[in-house]
Amino acid sequence: MIRIGVLAIQGDFAAHARAVGRIGANAIEVRRANDVASLDGLIIPGGETTTMLKFIEEEDLAAPIADFARARRPIFGTCAGAILLAREVYNPAQASLGLIDIVVERNGYGRQVDSFIAEVETSIEGGPLEAVFIRAPRIRRIGPEVKVIARLNDEPVLVRGGNILAATFHPELTEDLRAHSLFVEMIRSFDRSVATPCIA
């Protein structure tokens, strides 16, 4: 069975673990650097990026996550997770892992409408996707290699750059599991195309 790690610092990792279970993969809670290398995929959930960054630093998690990405293993960041994966973050500027070529504005919808649900257009089969945005970031720029998989009003909200998938919304909070299923597909196609195991 596919083993998907869910970074379990704070926030809604339990909802991601349930979503992973519902699509037939095994969810593993990740808290320590040693937990990362043996996974097939890693989810970085929503939460508060400042808290998450502090934990990542304290537990020396940045290097194992970067190694995991370099080994072409799939990583899925949602909301705060997408912010952590971005190349550049502003409002305010803060450190990030720089694993996908996107520029992200934190809390990009402002305080007035900080949380909302919207139907977003997607290239994933099955029509528009219901998306829950909670103090969501906005993807303000994407690199040439990054593909847009879903948009809200012409703005990217789900993007893929190589083995990295990033959503500004919370796909784990709806019944529609197509974003998680896409992530599992990325993991499966990795397994088919690469013979060497993940670097330890």
Q: How far is the CB of 33 from ligand GLN (least distance, A)?
A: 22
Widest distance between CA atoms in the chain: 50
Let me know: does 11 contact 46? Beta carbons within 8 Å. Answer: yes
Answer for which of 17, 28, 80, 179 binds ligand GLN (CB under 6 A) is: 80
Catalytic residue among 16, 79, 105, 180: 79
Residue with Cβ nearer ligand GLN (11 or 64):
11
- Run of H or E residues at 94: none
Q: Is 46 in the site for ligand GLN (CB under 6 A)?
A: yes
CA 10/CA 140 separation, integer angstroms: 26
Burial 98-136 (b: 16+ CB within 10 A, else e): ebbbbebbbebbeeeeeeeeeebebebeeeebebbbbbb
Answer for which of 49, 96, 122, 181 binds ligand GLN (CB under 6 A) is: 49
92-111 residues in contact with ligand GLN (CB under 6 A) are 106-107
- Active centre residues (catalytic): 79, 170, 172
- Binding residues vs ligand GLN (CB under 6 A): 46-49, 79-80, 83, 106-107, 134-135
